[in-house]
Amino acid sequence: MELPGLAFAVWLFICFYASVDGYPSGKVREACTSMIPCHGSSPQLSPEHTITVNGTEFKPGDNIEVLLSGPDFEGFFIQARDAEHLDSPAVGSFMLADRRLSQLLTCGRTKNSAVSHTSKAKKKNIKVYWIAPGDAPKRVQFLATVVKKYKTFWVKIPGPIISHPNALSQTTPLHATSEALSTSHPVSYLSKPFNASHCGSMKFCIRNPSNCDPESASCFFLSFQQEKSSVFIEMSGPSEGYLAFALSHDQWMGGDDAYLCVSEGHRVHVSTAYLKGRSPPVLDSENALEDVSWRLVDGVLQCSFRRNIRLPSYKGRFNLDASYYIFLADGEASEGGLIHKHRHQPLITNGIYVTGLPQDIGGSRSPRLIKAHGVLMFVAWITTVSIGVIVARFFKPVWSHSFLFGKEMWFQVHRMLMLITVMLTSISFVLPFIYRGGWSQQAGFHPYLGCTVMALTIFQPLMAGFRPSRHAPRRQLFNWFHWSTGTTARILAVVTMFLGMDLPALDLPDPWDTYTMIGFVAWHVGIDVLLEIHSYCLIRKVEVIEDDRVQILQSLTSAEAEGRLFKQIVLTIYVCGNIVFLIAFLVAISQI
């Protein structure tokens, strides 16, 4: 095919592909700028759907109700933009009213700056809440793309224009009914993010990750500043549902003094609560908090309030001049302010602190014993056991004439690595039981598989102690059992680690943990296959030499030397690769 013909075929394929490429799941980030669905046809001109809002003005932190309605439609895409520059990036962020029908998307650098459908199910209206950012333009207009059927859709349907109180109204909002328009209720809002400038000097601060900037969208921040007989408290972090902190006498939930900032529809409710065990918090009917303010911008929830150091008339409120462990948690909340269990392990301070004494500390979402459990298991089953298996499988002929402490070198290296594996696994095995004080009912299959691996780990060296002599009739049977037990233990250990990395107590960052484990498995299998192919080629080479019957001894010696050098190079590379995987894991676990 000539080049012009090839170019035409490629162009034809792209056009055909574009004509069948849709977004039934609502993941339409590719359309963030144009808001045009890739459906291979032109948009309709006269829209059938309208956008209404519940206010004409906004201030930073305000929540504006946005309603998209009209005849049945399958898909939609909603954004807010600068009314003077509609081709500019999305402005502000959204909150959902119904997670079954809508989902949040990130367009550009602004998190949750767009809303789309979750499925092709027909719907008549969609309600969301737009959160005004602190740096919003003077006038903001809502735009929507609506898909009625695959080939029938409207792009950038113009919605109402809302303005900052200081901006002069220049145009009348489009498609905004008089019933839907009303002045938004005044709310107590924070005009700007918190900062860490006085942490350690005037404030007691907790930051996660350590030393993160509270103005960052990924920073969890909690501060206490004592002012005479009261304490001013600030709390912020990325959350679409709630943020909460608790004061505790130990590192376990139960009998704790808790404070919650919960997103309720288009407002944030700040309240106190008492924690009873692992049950949902019991909200107080009377609130002892003063000077309550909040802000919800770009997916970051912030709230601040003041409370007296001592509250003798409020049952369950701890005195703030004593020492406590401090918990910081986040999670989802339903309509009506109902909070759900936190999705990952809360941040817990490593010691007890007096919040009135200025300090700047970090915290960990994973207890030290669980971190140690993960590290020891990773070292044992990713490093020592893997190298030991490679040595036993491929280095018998290479190190058969080398001795260490009276035994063949390959055997001594293999035995030493396997004994280290047994020791590390045994120590690691007891750590979760020490941390939990018993069996965990919330860890799924992980503890069951872990116990199975531990049993096989103990059984393997016991079986090796009864190994028959090399030429005994039962030696072949022993070899088969030894290999199958070890292989089963390794496979189960990898599966167990896959399951353990996503448990709340460890919860390594996704999808990094999965990719790392898949990478290690591929790395090990690749090295194993490479050495198998090399061994097969070496055997075939020796067989050809034997058939030739010329210079057999010299050729065999040369082949053995060649094989020994290649395997030693591969082993060195393999060990270095395992160390890289180990370092990557240690870096990741140090960040949680």
Per residue, what are the HEC states of 494-555?
HHHHHHHCCCCCCCCCCCHHHHHHHHHHHHHHHHHHHHHHHHHHHHHHHHHHHHHCCCHHHH
**What pLDDT does residue 526 have?**
92
Residues 137 and 193 in one domain: no
Q: Is the dihedral of CA 60, 262, 205, 221 positive or negative?
A: negative
Last residue of a domain, one of 332, 349, 364: 364
Report CA-CA distances (Å) from 78 to 103, 428, 431: 11, 50, 50
In this structure, are strands 123-131 and 63-73 parallel, antiparallel, or unpaired?
Answer: antiparallel
- pLDDT tens for the chain, residues 1 to 592: 444 444 434 443 444 343 334 555 556 667 788 888 877 678 888 889 999 999 889 988 888 999 999 999 999 999 999 998 888 889 999 988 888 889 989 888 788 899 999 888 899 999 999 988 888 899 999 999 999 988 889 999 999 999 988 654 333 333 333 233 333 333 356 778 898 888 999 999 999 888 888 888 889 999 999 988 899 999 999 887 899 999 999 888 888 999 999 887 667 888 888 888 777 777 776 677 888 888 888 788 899 999 999 988 887 789 999 999 999 998 887 765 677 777 677 888 888 898 888 999 877 777 788 889 988 998 999 889 999 998 888 887 777 677 777 788 888 999 999 999 999 999 999 999 988 888 877 778 899 999 999 999 999 999 988 888 878 888 889 989 999 999 999 999 999 988 888 777 776 766 777 788 888 889 989 998 998 888 888 777 665 555 554 444 444 455 555 677 888 888 899 989 888 888 888 877 776 6
- Rounded to the nearest angstrom, the gap between the alpha carbon of residue 105 and the centroid of all alpha carbons in its chain is 16
Residue keyed to tokens 């394929």: 13
Nearest to 80 by CA among 46, 107, 48: 107
- For the chain, the domain total comes to 3
Residues 298 and 375 in one domain: no
The answer to the question of residue 519 being in a domain is: yes
Residues 218 and 304 in one domain: yes
The answer to the question of residue 169 being in a domain is: no
* CATH code, 407: 1.20.120
* CATH code, 196: 2.60.40.1210
The answer to the question of residue 8 being in a domain is: no
**What pLDDT does residue 2 have?**
43
pTM of the model: 0.57
Residues 298 and 385 in one domain: no
* CATH code, 150: 2.60.40.4060
Q: Is the dihedral of CA 197, 200, 203, 207 positive or negative?
A: positive
Other CB atoms within a 10 A radius of the CB of residue 574 amount to: 20
Residues 110 and 225 in one domain: no
- Rounded to the nearest angstrom, the gap between the alpha carbon of residue 473 and the centroid of all alpha carbons in its chain is 54
Residues 266 and 336 in one domain: yes
Residues 357 and 446 in one domain: no
Half-sphere exposure of 325 (CA within 13 A, CB side): 18
According to DSSP, residue 145 is labeled E
Residues 358 and 462 in one domain: no
Last residue of a domain, one of 295, 329, 364: 364
The answer to the question of residue 398 being in a domain is: yes
Residues 419 and 335 in one domain: no
Residues of the domain holding 509: 368-591
Residues 577 and 494 in one domain: yes
The answer to the question of residue 212 being in a domain is: yes
The answer to the question of residue 22 being in a domain is: no
The answer to the question of residue 173 being in a domain is: no
Other CB atoms within a 10 A radius of the CB of residue 235 amount to: 27
SS3 content of the chain, % helix, strand, coil (to 5): 35, 30, 40
Last residue of a domain, one of 310, 330, 364: 364
Between CA 546 and CA 562 the distance in angstroms is 17
The answer to the question of residue 278 being in a domain is: yes
Between CA 112 and CA 102 the distance in angstroms is 12
Residues 321 and 448 in one domain: no
Residues 427 and 551 in one domain: yes
